[in-house]
């Protein structure tokens, strides 16, 4: 994340941005496949935090997984309800710093890239609130600082698009944050630019639970520097 380019932070910022990119962001469903593969069978209710395009929660519902979504941008929620009317009752306009949700309301909560917009202090607040509304496990997927080529790409394009003003995390860094709120933490490198390992399986129609879990188990941390993101799972 760079200080020279203003980051998108307010609901108004994101209202304008989602009006511009909402349709474009519907295409990449890889994260939904990762979540379906890694969720436990007893995790029946899911919440996507900072859902934005709501593409992943919609994809999970199409896969038979009951998932709700929340975002603080009125425009994002409105566009999502218009695009996915059958799921409108599962879409909420809410601020992730203070959800209007009861304690332990969802078995599993997750977000993708969300924490990259915030300071350490803000992330602690967000993690605490996420843990509050989660019964079993919480997931934070962040941009991977070990992939220097991916980070350099963001550093280049951020000069013309503040959407790319995102903080990247090292494995130990995200694990440490999650460990302050979770009993056990596991970090899985994910995302191979849509053309390798788990992403190839998804592209070939083999993105079911068993093949993806096997792929994650076999690759382990060997592909850390090639992965786009770090998917951090915390048990509560």
Per-residue confidence at 163, pLDDT binned at 50, 70, 90? confident
Highest-pLDDT range among 21-25, 77-81, 154-158: 77-81
Share of the chain above pLDDT 90, in %: 79
User: What is the rounded CA–CA span in Å between residue 45 and residue 23?
Assistant: 26
Q: Are 132 and 166 in contact (CB under 8 A)?
A: no
pLDDT of 196 > 60? The answer is yes
Confidence at 193, pLDDT banded by 50, 70, 90: confident
Cβ(226)–Cβ(192) under 8 Å? yes
- DSSP label at residue 5: S
CA distance 110 to 194: 21
Kindly report each contact of residues 4-13 with a partner whose C-beta sits within 8 Å and lies 24 or more positions away, as own/partner. Answer: 5/158, 5/159, 5/162, 5/165, 6/162, 6/165, 7/117, 7/162, 7/165, 8/117, 8/162, 8/163, 8/165, 9/117, 11/72, 11/73, 11/74
Residues 6+ apart with CB under 8 A from 101: 47, 94, 133
pLDDT of 168 strictly over 90? yes
Fold held by 11-235: Rossmann fold (3.40.50)
Statement: the pTM of the whole predicted model exceeds 0.85: yes
Give the three-class secondary structure for 60: helix
**pLDDT higher than threshold 90 for residue 82:** yes
Domain ranges of the chain: 11-235
| Average of per-residue pLDDT across 136-155 | 97
CA atoms within 13 A on the CB side of 208: 4
């Amino acid at each position: 994340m760079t200080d020279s380019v203003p980051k998108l932070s307010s609901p108004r910022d994101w209202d304008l941005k989602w009006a511009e990119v909402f349709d474009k962001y519907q295409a990449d469903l890889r994260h939904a496949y990762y979540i379906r593969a890694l969720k436990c069978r007893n995790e029946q209710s899911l919440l996507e935090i900072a859902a934005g395009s709501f593409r992943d929660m919609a994809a999970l519902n199409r896969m038979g997984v009951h998932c709700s979504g929340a975002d603080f941008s009125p425009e994002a929620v409105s566009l999502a309800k218009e695009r996915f009317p059958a799921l409108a009752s599962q879409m909420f306009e809410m601020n992730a710093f203070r959800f209007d949700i009861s304690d332990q309301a969802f078995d599993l909560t997750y977000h993708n890239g969300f924490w990259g917009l915030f300071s350490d202090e803000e992330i602690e607040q967000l993690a605490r609130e996420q843990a509050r509304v989660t019964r079993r496990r919480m997931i934070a997927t962040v941009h991977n600082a070990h992939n220097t080529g991916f980070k350099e790409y963001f550093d280049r394009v951020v000069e013309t698009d503040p959407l790319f003003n995102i903080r990247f995390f090292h494995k130990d860094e995200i694990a440490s944050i999650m460990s302050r709120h979770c009993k056990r933490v596991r970090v899985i490198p994910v995302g191979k630019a849509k053309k390798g390992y788990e992403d190839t399986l998804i592209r070939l129609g083999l993105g079911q639970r068993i093949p993806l879990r096997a792929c994650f188990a076999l690759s382990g941390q060997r592909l850390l520097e090639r992965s786009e993101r770090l998917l951090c799972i915390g048990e509560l």
